[in-house]
Amino acid sequence: MTEERIVFIGGGAAGATAALETRKRNRDAKITVIEAGPYPQYSCCALPFVLGREIETYEGILIFDEGFYRDYGKLDLMLNTRVVGIDRESKMVICERCSVGYDKLVISTGSYAFVPPIPGIEGIGLGKRTFTYKFMPEAEALDRAISDANKVVVIGAGLVGIEVADALRRRGLDVTIVELLPTVIHMMLDEDMARLVTDELENMGIKLMLGTKVEGIEETEGSVIVSIPGERLEVDACVIASGVRAETSLAKKAGLDVGMGIIVDDHMHTSDPDIYSCGDCIETTNAVTGRRTLDQLGSSAVRQARVVAANLAGGDIAIRPTLSTSITHIGSLGVAAVGITSNSARDSGFDVLTARFKGSTLPEYYPGGREITIKLVFTPEKKLLGAQIIGTDGVLARIDTISAIMQLGGGLDELNYLETAYTPPLSPTIDPICLAAGAALKKCERARRG
C-alpha cells in the first residue's frame, strides 16, 4: 500500500497549521500544501501592526520560512500555485500547470476583501492609490504608497478599518474614516460601548465620518478623490476595509454544499467525506443563536485546523459552536467581545436586557488601577448572551474568563459568584466581571417582578 496523500488548498493560518499538525501525528503521509500567493503562512491579523511599525518588517510576521516546511515539516509547499478545480471522481486537485492526487483533501481557501460597488471603483486599478487590506502584497503596497503621503481615507470602520486607521495615524498621517453605519465595529460592540472607541479614535486625531455613504471614487495623477454627500475628499491614498467574503468558488465548482461559506459538520467534514474544510472559508454555528455564521477570526481558523488535523489522524473531535471571542487594541484601549451584541440578540428573537458596569482593575487603595467598562447582554432568565469589555488594561483576562464560562454553559449566576484570583497588586477582591453580573442579576429580578 502506498503512503496516504493529504493535500491542503491554501497555506494560510488554517491550511499551514492543519498541515503541520497533521505531520506531527503522521510521519508517513505525503503532505502537499498548495498556496496561490507568494508567501508561506503569515499572520494577516498582524499586518496593521507592521504598518504601525510595532513590528519592524513584513518578513517578521512569516510564521515559518519555506525551509522549515521542507526540512522540518517534510511537506511539499507549492507557492504561487493557483488551483483551478477539484476532480472529486478521480480525487485530483487541478492547478494551472499541474495536478495533485489526494486521498484526503483540506480546503482552506480563506477569505478575500470585499470591494463594495462604489461608483467609479471599476475604473480604478487597485494597488496604486486605492487598496484593499487583506493580504501581505497589498499591505506592502499600501505601506510603500504612504511613504510620501499626507492624507488617507479609510472606507469602513470594522476591525480592519480602525486598526489600519490607528496605524496610519501613528505613522503621522491625516486620517479620515468614512463609515456607512452610525457606529464602529458594530459586529463586536453596542453603540454605547462603541462610543468609547470613537472617543479614543478622535483623541488620536482621526476624523470620523459615521453614517456617511461613499458616493464615488476616482483617481487622478496625484490623488484619490472620495466623494461623500456635499464633499469631495482629496487624499493621497484610500483603503477599502469593507469586510471580507468567504472564498468558496472552488468548493462550489466542485459541487460541495456551500452557503455563505463552505458547509461543514462539527468534525469539519464538507459534504464529501474525504474533504475537510477550515478557516475563513467555512460557515460555523453561533453558540448563542444556533444560527449559521461566518466567524472569520484568526484564532478560530487555527482552532479549526487543530480539529481537522486531529480527525485526519483518526481522532473523533467535535468542534464547539463559536462565541466569536475577539479582542483588538486601538490607541491605548483593549476592546473585546464574546457572544452577540444587543442588536444581534434582538434580531435573533431574544428578550434582551443589558447592564453596563464601570470598575477598576485593582483594589481602590492600590495605585495604578485602570478603569474597565463591562457590558453584559442577557435575558431575564439569566442566560448570558454576550459581553463587551473596554479598558486600558486587564481586558484579555476578563473576556477569556467570561468566554470560558459561556463555552461551558454558565450564565449570570455562575459569573456572579465566580472564584477569581486576588492579590492587591494584580486584581481586586471581587472582580469587576462578577460585580457586573451582580448588577445584571438585579435587572433580571426587576424584570421578573415586572
- The residues that touch a second copy, with contacts defined as CB under 8 A, are 13, 43, 45-46, 49, 54-55, 60-61, 63, 297-300, 302-303, 306-307, 317, 319-320, 322-323, 325-329, 334, 336, 338, 363-367, 394-401, 403-405, 407-410, 414, 417-427, 429-431, 438
> At residue 384, what is the residue type?
L
Closest C-alpha to 332, from 387, 386, 371, 374: 371
Q: Mind spelling out the 3-state secondary structure of 247-296?
A: CCHHHHHCCCCECCCECCCCCCECCCCCEEECCCCECEEECCCCCEECCC
Query: Minimal distance in Å, beta carbon 386 to a second copy?
Result: 13
What angle, rounded to 10 degrees, do the helices at 159-170 and 191-203 form?
A: 20
What angle, rounded to 10 degrees, do the helices at 432-449 and 395-407 form?
A: 50
Instruction: Please report the DSSP string for 151-203 in residue order.
Output: EEEEE--SHHHHHHHHHHHHTT-EEEEE-SSSSSSTTT--HHHHHHHHHHHHH
Q: Which three cell numbers stand for residue 162?
A: 480602525
Query: Minimal distance in Å, beta carbon 321 to a second copy?
Result: 10
Give whichever of 138 and 414 is closer to a second copy, judged by the CB atom: 414
End-to-end CA distance of the chain: 71
Closest C-alpha to 81, from 126, 34, 127, 49: 34
Query: Minimal distance in Å, beta carbon 310 to a second copy?
Result: 9
Q: Which three cell numbers stand for residue 155?
A: 472606507
Q: Which three cell numbers stand for residue 92?
A: 485530483
Query: Minimal distance in Å, beta carbon 389 to a second copy?
Result: 9
Give whichever of 95 and 302 is closer to a second copy, judged by the CB atom: 302
Q: Is 281 a catalytic residue?
A: no
Query: Minimal distance in Å, beta carbon 106 to a second copy?
Result: 18
Measured distance CA(66)–CA(388) in Å, rounded: 39
> At residue 186, what is the residue type?
H
Residue with grid cell 464529501, as numbered in its chain: 272
Give whichever of 62 and 79 is closer to a second copy, judged by the CB atom: 62
Give whichever of 177 and 310 is closer to a second copy, judged by the CB atom: 310
> At residue 347, what is the residue type?
D
Query: Minimal distance in Å, beta carbon 339 to a second copy?
Result: 11
Instruction: Please tell me which residue in 45, 95, 278, 444 is annotated as part of the active site.
Output: 45
Give whichever of 256 and 310 is closer to a second copy, judged by the CB atom: 310
Give whichever of 74 and 442 is closer to a second copy, judged by the CB atom: 442
> At residue 439, what is the residue type?
A
**Catalytic positions:** 45
